[in-house]
Each structure stands twice: as structure tokens, then as C-alpha cells.
Amino acid sequence: MLQGNKMHSTVMLHSSLRLSYRFAVLMIVALMMFSSDTLSAAIAPQAGRSTVPLHVTTGKDQGYTIKVLVRREGSALMVDLESMARALRLSFRREAGMLVLEEALGVSGSSCTVMINNNFAKVISMDPDHPNRIIQLQSAPSSIQSRIYLPVNQACRLFTLWLDREVVYSYSSGMMNAWLNGKRFGESVGLVGLVKNEEKLSVKGGESTHAEDVSTVITGIEIEKRANGVIISFLASGNPAQSSLLKPDAEGYVYFSLEKASCDINTLSKIYSGGVVKAITPKQFAEGGLQFTVALDNKSFEITSVEFHRDEKNNRYVLYVRSNADVQEIRKKEIEQQNAQVISRDVEKWKLNTIVLDAGHGGKDPGTIGFSGTREKDVALNIVHDLGTFIAQKWQDVNVVYTRKDDRFIPLHERGKIANQSGGKLFISVHCNASPNRSAQGSEVYILGLHKNKAALDVAMFENSVIRQEDNFQEQYKGFSEEHLIMSSMAQNAFAKQSTSLAQYIIRPVDRQSSVNNARGVRQAGFMVLWTPSMPSILVEVGYLSNPEEEQMLRDRQVQTKVAYGIFKGVQAYRKNYETISKAALAE
């Protein structure tokens, strides 16, 4: 009986093990399927606009990661060339039907021009000793919602061949990588597409042709409305073509013809509304001729003349269509255009496009040290890095400048110079506070000014005492006295209102659920780091390391990130208000 029970137990055990093994296998398969689906969902952008990360290596242990706009068109992942150029810190400009990219990675630099629906990109070197190049693309750039896209592998290939740097896309990780700190890893590609007799080369619909076959390619059409008519510009590339103009017939049709020319018929077929020009229709002839039919509204407008001019400098064919003019209306339009240009320049001048972040202390100057050993220089640097990350992620049009990115000692007067030389529009200095009163807590924001009370004076004196650690500080700060503070404060008066406004906005969004963010208000004192920046400037004391509870919170990275985000929310509110007021003032 005992032996039978033992055999029965053995059978039951084997059966249980088989069930456990099957269950384990099923679980592993399910996890693999879940991981695969999750990974695919993370890597593959959804249909429409999305982003992929691009990591750029600029030197040893130096670089950054930024998101680039992409689209999913069927099975193809398309990259926005403007967004990719911006991520690589290249400049660019849009022209009709084309995108001109410019770089300065070398001594002289070069430009690369890509055209919509054209399989050739043209590289022009600014160094006369380096010949120009033509790069052939497997796919022609596409225009989607006013942006120019290339498949991701072709976009990486284009920048690799042009810049002679390694730019690749990993399908497994869904990430692009670019190495800009040296020539590409393999053999140099800097001579790919070398053009020896450039004047004989043109491009047409993705095929190379000779000048005797096609003289010019019409790449775009621009219309500039005037009070007394319109200016129609046909943008061209290649050699000049023989051209002719037939003036309007009874129906208002104008015929503009070119010999040995071509264009993209679909792209350049235009229909307009509410103006002198109703439509422009191109027609390609078998023998190589190209004719544009320009339909004018001669019933609503009295057309007085149509003239033709060849703009050799800009390689354009220009039609001037004149109609009866209202002189007063012309003058009014001219004044409006002049005002608009002035406003545009002023808006660009006052645009908040550079923010300077200053992490207090550093290197041999630890700043305040809490009872648990928390150093002010470390807390300030972490918060500044987090704040800079928020700004870079949210505002790609804003340049972030750091007075220090690591644990190094930067003299106070050098911090202001860095801010001024970078063209900063805001200066934010981050510190931690200390007090003999261990119960003192909360954040404070200071602007430059005379000390209104002893507490503000004590804080300023402590922060200013760092100058004694600087070399030759007696000579460097000679003349920095109470009188100099008054003069600096008067110079900062131009920014006093903006500095106060910024300080108030930064105080407001701070989360008051913890004592570390119990804001104590906006104050003014003679901080030497605020004396030299020629821009709205503030100093943020994020909390008291002399308070044991606040020290424990301030050494927590999550709390530091939360404090940085609170500061960012304040800057965000300030920027919105600042730009609204600036635009309203300029419009008056």
C-alpha cells in the first residue's frame, strides 16, 4: 500500500511538473509577444507627424539629443529636412521649390541645395579651391504640408555625403546618430559627385542632361501684388533660355515661352483668387520648349500693360502686369509695408531667444554646506541642468547658455561677461540659502538693488564673499563699492520692471505643498553676479540648506527637478506676457 501511494505521488509530481513547464513556456511566449508589440509601438511613429530622437556627438563625452520631426507615409518613414538641419545646428533658408542648407563645420563651409521632386542636390563650396558637387538621391524630396521631406535613410545619406560626417539611422532602436567631431568612420566621401565642368550640367526630373538638351529648369513661381498690378517671377536654375512674350489677347491670356526649358507641370500649375492673375498653366512641348499661359482677369481690372524682364543676377524671368492705379492706395500700401518691415525687425530684436543660466558657486567654492554635507554648488548645478533641459525641450527656438556646465570655479565678473557676449535676453542665477536661524525656510527671488533690510544684506554679503577666492580679487573688483552698486542699479533700471516681473512670475507657480517651496517673496540686494549682465536678471534662492528638513528635500533629485520645473513655469508665464506686450507696443 505504501509503495502504491509512492508511485501515485510520483505520477502526480511528474504531471504537475509538465503543467508548470507548459505554463512557463506560455508565459515566456506571451511576454515575448508583449515586448515585441510594445517595442514596435515605441519605435514606429504613428501615421502622420511624429518625432524620432537624434543623438549628436560633438566631441569626446560631449553631445546632445534632440527630437526631429518625421512622418509615416505608408511604409516609409519621412524626415523633415528643416527639423534635421536645425537639430544638427545648421542654418537654412526656404526659396520657391527648394531648401538651401548651410554649414560651417570646416574652415570655409559649404551649402547644399535640394529641390522638390528633383533627385539631385547641389553642394557649393565657399572655398574656391574646392569644386562644387552634385549628389544624386534615390528618392526625390517631397513637399508635404509646406515642409520638405526625405525618407530617413536618404536624409542620413544626404547629410553624410554633404558634410563628410557619419549620420545613420537605426531601425532597431528607432534613433538617428550623428558624429560631428571628425570625418566619417570609413573612407572620406567628401569628393562624391565632383563636378569638373559644372556649366554643362543641369538637372531634370531626376535625370542628368546636357546643356544642349535643356538650358534651364523653372523651379518655382512667385507673385507679388502691388496697388497698380502684380509682379510674376519665374524662378530658374541652369543656363539662360531664349524667351518670348505674347501680350494679352481679348480674353486676357498672356503666353510666356522659353526654348529648351522644363519644369514640374503639376507643381507649377497654379490657380489664384481675388486678384489680377486668375491662373498660370505650364505646357511642355516635345521638342523641348516650355510655355506658360497666364490668365488675367481683364473684366474686373483694366490691364494697361504687360512687360517682360530677364533678371540675370537672380536667375529669374519677371513679368510686370500693370493696371490702373489709385495713387493714394499705393502710398498707403507702401507705408503699411514699411511699417510691417520695421515691426518685423523690432520683433526679431526683442524676441526672447537666448536665456543664460548661472549655477551658483562651483569648483573650489562649495557655497553653503548643510548639516548632512549637502553642497550648494551641487544642488544649484542639478537644478540649472534640469531647467535648461525643460527650456530646450519646450522651446526649440530658444538658445540656452550656461555659465558653467560642470563643477568648476567661475569668477563672478566672468559670469556677467558670458551673459553679455552670448546676447542673452534673460539671466537666471540659482543658489541655496543659509541662516543662523535653523527654522528659516522657503524660496526667495532677488533683483539687483540697494538692500532694503538686514536679512537681504546678509544674503548678498555671503554670496559676494566668494570673490576672495578669485585670483587678484583686490584689483579685479577695485571700485566695486556702495557707490558702484548705486550706479549699477541705475543702469539696471532699464530692466528693473522686467526683472521684477520675471521674479514675480517665478514665485507664483512654486508648489507650496512642501516647505522647500514656501516662497518668501521678491526682494532686492546688491548681488555682484547681477551687476554686469545687460538684460533682465534675477537670483533665485531655492531654499535653506541650514534648515535640516529643507536640506533633506533639496538633496533629492526629484525635488530638484520639481524646483527646476517651477522656475520654468515662471519663465514660461513671463515669456508669454513679455511677447504679448512687446507685439502690442510695436503695433501701436
* pLDDT of the residue at 340: 60
Percent with pLDDT over 90 in the chain: 25
Mean pLDDT in residue range 35-50: 48
- Of 257-266, 534-543, 555-564, the one with minimum mean pLDDT is 534-543
Residue 216, C-alpha cell as written in the block: 534651364
Q: Is the pTM of this model over 0.75?
A: no
Mean pLDDT in residue range 350-377: 89
Query: Per residue in 473-530, pLDDT tens?
Result: 445 444 444 434 333 443 444 456 777 777 788 876 544 444 444 445 566 544 444 4
Residue with cell 530622437: 53
Confidence band for 224, pLDDT divided at 50, 70 and 90: very high
Mean pLDDT in residue range 323-340: 66
Residue 403 has pLDDT above 80, yes or no: yes
Q: How many CB atoms lie within 10 A of CB 318?
A: 16
* pLDDT of the residue at 144: 87
- Of 33-42, 56-65, 217-226, 505-514, the one with minimum mean pLDDT is 33-42
Arithmetic mean of pLDDT over the chain? 75
What are the C-alpha distances in Å from 18 to residues 6, 14, 23, 27?
A: 19, 6, 9, 14
Distance CA 159, CA 362 (A): 39
Residue 216 has pLDDT above 50, yes or no: yes
Which of 242 and 84 is assigned the larger pLDDT? 84
Radius of gyration of the chain (CA): 33
* pLDDT of the residue at 334: 67
H and E: helices and strands count for the chain: 11, 30
- DSSP structure string for 436-473: SSTT----EEEEES--SSHHHHHHHHHHHGGGGGSTTH
Residue with cell 548645478: 381
* pLDDT of the residue at 318: 95
Query: Per residue in 165-209, pLDDT tens?
Result: 888 888 888 899 988 876 554 445 655 545 444 443 344 444 433
Residue 17, C-alpha cell as written in the block: 511538473
- DSSP structure string for 502-533: HHHHHHTTS-TTSGGG----EEEE--GGGTS-
- Of 392-396, 507-511, 542-546, the one with minimum mean pLDDT is 507-511
CATH number for the 210-326 domain, one of 2.60.40.3500, 3.40.640.10, 3.40.980.10, 3.10.180.10? Answer: 2.60.40.3500
* Distance, C-alpha 13 to centroid of its chain: 65
Mean pLDDT in residue range 571-583: 80
Distance CA 323, CA 303 (A): 4
Mean pLDDT in residue range 555-562: 93
User: Mapping DSSP to helix (H, G, I), strand (E, B) and coil, where does residue 243 land?
Assistant: strand
Distance CA 19, CA 283 (A): 75
412 Ramachandran zone, left/alpha/beta (phi>0; psi -120 to 50): alpha
Q: CATH assignment of 355-433+441-583? A: 3.40.630.40
Distance CA 166, CA 14 (A): 58
Domain boundaries, the chain: 50-196, 210-326, 355-433+441-583
* pLDDT of the residue at 97: 81
